[in-house]
Structure 1
């Protein structure tokens, strides 16, 4: 296996340069995927035979939930890299991704509550899926608060890494809660090993919005990491030159 790419991530300057080349393409992908997916899903996809038009919130709810869970897995991986290889960019990624993951979790919870009212007759129930998603939001808040509460950067990096790794046990609980317990929440919309339950004109725009949300997450993360990298490397020559070009 070629580990050269992995080792290059240890260089803040290399990351700043390469991320600047990637950003325009991810921005373009975000605009195209979300524009087509959301307009198709909200305006042109057929109504659900049971839920009518209320199901259309799925085109926001499901992508946000996907990204929220994937983001936390990324935090756990970054935490492991921080503890094992002490790579500075891993800590930067962890600290910068946590607020984005928190927002995605919040959006998933809010849209789920809005969807739950016409479907279940109530905005909230202490369902296993909903409760574990709420715990995920608290985990994000904990990582953000812990990172801000500890002034020593190295100590804060280790503490947030440990919390991210420990908290990842909640992800399989979220995923399999509808299988393990009797819950109101419907089963997974997408399964890699199974044919989609929805017709293609309903699930294809959902696929586009899911990809669009991942592209949006990537854009947000890269932008936040670039700013944080410049802040941490402000005393280096390359960072000063980059700041001069921006001013």
Structure 2
């Protein structure tokens, strides 16, 4: 079981906040002057990539702590490894959601589902890179249990993969691209105002709660998987020890060994009397 009062509370908040977000996005926020109702895709598309950024930042932080302090922890840094893996899975999920909603939105605004645009291409590379990181975590490492990830090797890849995050974010500023500028940016006047502005902020908060709930659940599942792997390994080791003890030669019991016949005393008759 992975449910606790914390995850139940997060789940309830995620469900309630998502419901309110849908009401705001579909009913309260007005249509755009140019895009019409298609602009409502904004409230899923933009928060999804924000959550992906946050998840990959958490993966980077946990991976750095694993490399820095993992050997000092009693668990060898497994806590950091599980946290990095759980956050990366959620990040990939929201990156894919970003690509899907962006393609649907692009069909309305650009007339096509896909363009090899700088922002779109960089986002695809971001998803592929972290999918590779998740695959690397599943590769067995020398000296580890079968199926266990190479924690430190995966952590190094997580640090390298994070380079794609600023590339995706600043791609609309660094290159000429079909993709519009960021709707909200620090130090820049927002591109949207009024109900659209506040609905977008609320949607980002709701998506963050959903991501926190998913990350918590996935972390607990990874912890249970680790415990199950350790239990199977202990059982196999105990079985091997039992087989080795059974195959080892047993020392002879002096009480059960046959006793030699008593020697005849001198002068004793050796044959029948007549």
| TM-score (normalised: structure 1) | 0.82
Matching residue of 1:213: 207
Distance in 2 (alpha carbons) for counterparts of 1:31 and 1:195:
32
Which of 178, 182, 201 is equivalent to 1:184? 178
- 1:73 is aligned to 57
Relative to structure 1, the CA distance from residue 155 to residue 230 in structure 2 (aligned partners, 3 Å threshold; closer, same or farther) is closer
Structural mapping, 1:1-16, within 5 Å: none
Q: Which whole-Å CA distance do the structure 1 matches of 2:190 and 2:16 have between them?
A: 23
Task: Return 96-105 or 206-215, whichever deviates more.
Answer: 96-105
The CA distance in 1 between the partners of 2:191 and 2:211, in whole Å, is 27
Counterpart pick for 2:96 among 89, 102, 106: 106
> Is the 2:139–2:149 Cα contact (8 Å) retained in structure 1?
no
Is 1:126 the equivalent of 2:120?
Answer: no
Query: Whole-Å Cα distance in 2 between the matches of residues 43 and 35 of structure 1?
Result: 12
Counterpart Cα distance in 2 of 1:210 and 1:139: 24
Q: Which moved more, 1:218-227 or 1:153-162?
A: 153-162
Distance change >3 Å, CA 155–CA 65, structure 1 → 2: closer
**For the Cα contact (< 8 Å) 1:30–1:212, is it kept in 2?**
yes
Q: Is the 8 A contact 1:78 1:91 kept in 2?
A: yes
**How far apart are residue 21 of structure 1 and its match?**
4.7
Is the CA contact 2:104–2:113 (under 8 Å) kept in the aligned structure 1?
Answer: yes
**Cα distance in structure 2, aligned partners of 1:28 and 1:213:** 13
2:83 equivalent among 93, 97, 107: 93
Q: Whole-Å Cα distance in 1 between the matches of residues 149 and 10 of structure 2?
A: 33
Contact preservation (8 Å) 1:76, 1:165: yes
Partner in structure 2 of residue 239 of structure 1: none
Decide whether the 8 Å contact of 2:66 with 2:80 is kept in 1.
yes
What is residue 141 of structure 1 aligned with on the other side?
131
Q: Deviations over 1:137-176 (max 9, x none)?
A: 1012101111112253676111110111001111111111
Deviation at 1:74, TM superposition (A): 1.3
Distance 1:24 1:166 in 2: 35
Q: Distance in 2 between matches of 1:230 and 1:122?
A: 44
With over 3 angstroms needed to count, the CA separation of the structure-2 counterparts of 1:85 and 1:40, relative to structure 1, is same
* Rg larger in structure: 2
Specify every segment of 5 or more residues in structure 1 that has no aligned partner in the other structure, as ranges: 1-16, 237-247
Contact 2:136 / 2:149 at 8 angstroms: preserved in 1? no
Question: Given the alignment of the two structures, is residue 158 of structure 1 paired with residue 128 of structure 2, yes or no?
Answer: no
For residues 39-78 of structure 1, the aligned pairs below 5 Å read 39-78=23-62
Asked whether the equivalents of residues 40 and 205 of structure 1 are also in contact (C-alpha less than 8 Å), the reply is yes
Equivalent pair of 1:30/1:216 in contact (CA under 8 Å): yes
How far off is 1:61 after superposition? 0.8
Aligned twin of 1:84: 68
Name the TM-score, length of structure 2 as normaliser. Answer: 0.74
3-state SS of 1:149 partner: coil
How much has 1:194 moved relative to structure 2? 3.5
